[in-house]
């Protein structure tokens, strides 16, 4: 074989993998569209009409580069959470921001602590720089604060990842419990607190943002409650020195101009947000009901999805998943041991949940029979 340009040793050793297979790829493979899109924790309620209007108005302006400082956006986000603009960095969704922080803090062999079965895109970023993932099993379907703390101490890890509320289980910790966790964390360990779903759960789960802590970063996004998954806009909040350090390697033109417009408009429409959170709560109740009607156990959720215990092993839940997909219902499932007994169903529109209600018993029968 001819010589060719070499990849870095870290990248050369990586498998070709993707954190998620998109529903579009599944539709192409199946040769037909899903009837219910309930797998990616998107918001079928969509962005606010005010946000749609703002995007439409901005379309002719897309010839301009975005403001690389995201000045107005940062000011708006800062005001929203009660900090200064210098405590805020914007990014291409939480995905992009997690990648940024990982590239700032993790290099070959750096131990990084997360939960076994937590957000795969974070793990993907860690792998990209050759970090060493240390995983801690969930406990009673929640990420284990004690377990994470033990692992951090044992490994002297500079980074620990935690989502609250959690994905893929939908469970959460109350703010006071998380504050205790933060207090106990070594000061040389950075907590990446992924709050992608925070607007959808109880207020009591919302940890007060305290930028005097130099070792906690809060991550927020417009992908979930705000209904803008496709626009890639998120922000991170933290201590000023760390936020300034982000400038060293940040992709300054990464958040596109349409995302800046949409994020700004979305934040301004808190009335719409309140309507959506109410609808999401109703959707969660409906999914839980459907689960119970089929003698399954819904896990209480603070997110826009409900993870359903199928009351058997991972093999059975995988069959349920496959049967739902066969019936044109796009859902996903946790893959880690113990969690893998579940399927995960996002809140969707009423007619989509009707389809789920209709197809779940059939899928269960087929899974049991196969």
Q: Which residues make Cβ contacts (< 8 Å) with residue 358, sequence separation at least 6?
A: none
Q: Report 53-112 residues binding its own copies (CB under 8 A).
A: 55-56, 59-69, 71, 92-93, 95-96, 99, 103-107, 110
Determine contact, residues 37/348, Cβ cutoff 8 Å. Answer: yes
Distance between CA atoms of 226 and 221, rounded to whole angstroms? 8
Query: Rounded distance, CA 251 to CA 103, Å?
Result: 12
Q: Does the protein bind its own copies through residue 22 (CB under 8 A)?
A: yes
Q: How far is the CB of 322 from its own copies (least distance, A)?
A: 21
The region of 11-19, 137-145, 295-303, 334-342 touching its own copies under the rule CB under 8 A is: 11-19
Q: What angle is formed at CA 230 by the lines to CA 227 and CA 235, rounded to 5 degrees?
A: 75
CB closer to its own copies, 10 vs 312: 10
Under rule CB under 8 A, residue 209 binds its own copies? no
Q: How many whole angstroms separate alpha carbon 221 and alpha carbon 227?
A: 10
Contact call for residue 365 and its own copies (CB under 8 A): no
Nearest to 313 by CA among 331, 335, 291, 289: 335
Q: Which of 33, 79, 184, 249 binds its own copies (CB under 8 A)?
A: 249
Length of the chain: 370
The reply on whether position 229 binds its own copies by CB under 8 A is: yes
Residue 41 or 171: which CB sits closer to its own copies?
Answer: 41
The residue from 34, 36, 44, 302 that contacts its own copies (CB under 8 A) is 44
Q: From the CB of 289, what's the least distance to its own copies, in Å?
A: 24
For 208, phi and psi rounded to 5 degrees? -60, 130
Of 141 and 239, CB closest to its own copies: 239
- Rounded CA-CA distance 89/85 in Å is 8
Which residue of 154, 176, 252, 351 would you call a contact of its own copies, by CB under 8 A? 252
Binding flag, residue 33, its own copies (CB under 8 A): no
Least CB distance to its own copies at residue 158 (A): 5
Please report which helix (H) or strand (E) contains residue 268, including its range.
helix 257-268
State the nearest-atom distance from the C-beta of 286 to its own copies, in Å: 19
Give Cα separations from 212 to 34, 288, 348 (angstroms): 47, 40, 39
CA distance linking residue 289 with residue 293, whole number of Å? 6
Asked whether position 206 contacts its own copies by CB under 8 A, the answer is no
> Which string of x and - marks every residue 283-302 that binds its own copies (by CB under 8 A)?
--------------------
Residue closer to its own copies by CB (options 206, 349) is 349
Count of residues touching its own copies (by CB under 8 A): 90
Binding to its own copies by residue 349, rule CB under 8 A?
A: no
For residues 334-352, one letter each, b for 16 or more C-beta atoms within 10 angstroms of the residue's C-beta and e for the rest, the string is beeebbbbbbbbbbbbeeb
**Calpha distance 51→28 (Å, rounded):** 30
Q: Which of 35, 50, 52, 309 binds its own copies (CB under 8 A)?
A: 52
> Could you say which of 258, 296, 310, 353 contacts its own copies (CB under 8 A)?
258
Nearest distance, CB of residue 345 and its own copies, angstroms: 17
- Judge residue 57's burial from the number of C-beta atoms within 10 Å of its C-beta, 0-12 exposed, 13-18 middle, 19 or more buried: exposed
| Nearest residue (CB) to its own copies, 222 versus 356 | 222
In the chain, beta strands by DSSP E: 36-37, 88-91, 111-115, 132-136, 159-163, 190-194, 216-221, 234-237, 297-298, 305-309, 329-330, 342-346
Segment interacting with its own copies (CB under 8 A) among 182-190, 195-203, 281-289, 353-361: 182-190
Nearer to its own copies, 42 or 199 (CB): 42
Smallest distance, its own copies to C-beta of residue 341, A: 26
Residue 251 within binding range of its own copies, rule CB under 8 A: yes
């Amino acid at each position: 074989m001819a010589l060719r340009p070499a990849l870095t040793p870290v990248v050369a050793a990586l498998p070709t993998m993707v954190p998620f297979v998109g529903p579009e790829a599944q539709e192409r493979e199946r040769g037909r569209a899903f009837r219910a899109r309930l797998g990616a924790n998107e918001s079928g309620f969509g962005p606010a009409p005010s946000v749609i209007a703002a995007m439409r108005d901005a379309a002719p302006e897309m010839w301009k580069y975005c403001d690389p400082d995201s000045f107005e956006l940062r000011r708006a986000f800062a005001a929203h959470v009660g900090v200064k603009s210098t405590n805020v960095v914007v990014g291409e969704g939480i995905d992009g921001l997690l990648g940024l922080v990982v590239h700032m803090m993790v290099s070959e062999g750096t131990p990084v602590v997360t939960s076994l079965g937590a957000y795969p895109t974070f793990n993907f970023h860690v792998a990209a720089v050759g970090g060493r993932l240390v995983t801690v099993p969930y406990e009673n379907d929640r990420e284990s604060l004690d377990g994470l703390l033990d692992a951090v101490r044992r490994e002297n890890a500079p980074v620990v990842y935690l989502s609250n509320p959690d994905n893929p289980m939908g469970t959460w910790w109350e703010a006071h419990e998380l504050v205790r966790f933060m207090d106990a964390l070594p000061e040389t360990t950075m907590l990446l607190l992924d709050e992608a779903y925070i607007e959808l759960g109880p207020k009591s789960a919302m940890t007060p943002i305290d930028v005097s802590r130099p070792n906690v970063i809060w991550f927020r996004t417009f992908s979930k409650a705000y209904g803008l998954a496709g626009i890639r806009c998120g922000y991170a909040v933290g201590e000023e020195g760390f936020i300034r350090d982000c400038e060293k390697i940040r992709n300054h033109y990464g958040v596109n101009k349409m995302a800046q417009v949409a994020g700004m408009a979305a934040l301004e429409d808190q009335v719409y947000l309140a309507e959506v959170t109410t609808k999401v709560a109703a959707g969660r109740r409906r999914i839980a009901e459907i689960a119970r009607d089929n003698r399954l156990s819904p896990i209480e959720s603070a997110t826009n999805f409900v993870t359903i215990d199928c009351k058997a092993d991972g093999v059975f839940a995988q069959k349920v998943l496959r049967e739902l997909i066969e019936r044109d219902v796009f859902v996903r499932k946790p893959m880690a041991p113990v969690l893998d007994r579940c399927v995960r169903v996002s809140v969707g529109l009423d007619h989509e949940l009707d389809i789920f209600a209709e197809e779940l018993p059939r899928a269960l029968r087929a899974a049991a029979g196969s």
